[in-house]
Amino acid sequence: MKKPLLGLYALITLALLGWGYYQAIYVAPNDAMQGEIFRIIYYHVPSFAVAFFSFAVSLAGSICFLAFRGSHANRAQIADAWALAGAEIGVVFCTVGLTTGPLWGRRAWGMWWTWDARLTTTLVLWLIYVSYLLLRRFAAGPQMQTLAAVLGIFGAIDVPIVYMANRWWRTQHPAPVFGGGDGSGMAPSMVGALMWNMLAWFAWGVLIMTLRYNAERQSQKAAECDAQEALRA
Amino acid sequence: MKKLFFTLLALVAAGLFGRVVYLVLSSPPEPALTAPNHDAIVAQLNHLFRQAAYTITWAIQLGYLAWLGLKWQGQK
Four-CA torsion B42, B44, B46, B48, nearest 10 degrees: -150
Phi then psi for A4, rounded to 5 degrees? -65, -35
- Per-residue pLDDT at A132: 96
- Per-residue pLDDT at A189: 86
Which residues of chain A does B52 touch, with a Cβ-Cβ cutoff of 8 Å?
A: 103
Considering only CB atoms, B57 lies closest to which of A34, A36, A96, namely A96
Cβ atoms of A125 and A158 within 8 Å: the answer is yes
DSSP states along A157-207: THHHHHHHHHHHS--SSPPPSSS-STT----HHHHHHHHHHHHHHHHHHHH
How many whole angstroms separate alpha carbon A182 and alpha carbon A185? 9
Mutate to test the interface with A, among B20, B51, B54, B56 (most CBs of A within 10 A): B54
Q: Between chain A and chain B, how many beta carbons pairs sit less than 8 Å apart? A: 68
How many whole angstroms separate alpha carbon B10 and alpha carbon B17? 11
Q: Do B72 and A211 touch (CB under 8 A)?
A: yes
- Per-residue pLDDT at A1: 64
Which amino acid, one-letter code, is at A220? Q
- Per-residue pLDDT at B39: 87
- Per-residue pLDDT at A34: 86
3-class DSSP state of A49: helix
Q: Do A39 and B50 touch (CB under 8 A)?
A: yes
Question: What is the model's pTM?
Answer: 0.93
Which residues of chain A does B68 touch, with a Cβ-Cβ cutoff of 8 Å?
A: 208, 211-212, 215
Given pLDDT bands bounded at 50, 70 and 90, which one contains residue B73? confident
How many whole angstroms separate alpha carbon B51 and alpha carbon B16? 11
E-state strands within A43-174: none
Given pLDDT bands bounded at 50, 70 and 90, which one contains residue B7? very high
Q: What is the mean pLDDT of residues B50-75?
A: 93
Domain ranges of chain A: 40-171+187-232
Residues β-bridged to residue A35:
A31
pLDDT means per 10 residues, chain A with 233 residues, are 86 96 92 88 96 97 93 92 96 97 92 92 96 92 89 94 87 74 78 95 96 91 86 82
How many whole angstroms separate alpha carbon A6 and alpha carbon A215? 14
Which amino acid, one-letter code, is at A86? G
pLDDT tens track for B12-32: 999 999 999 999 999 988 888
Nearest-Cα residue of chain B relative to residue A111: B30
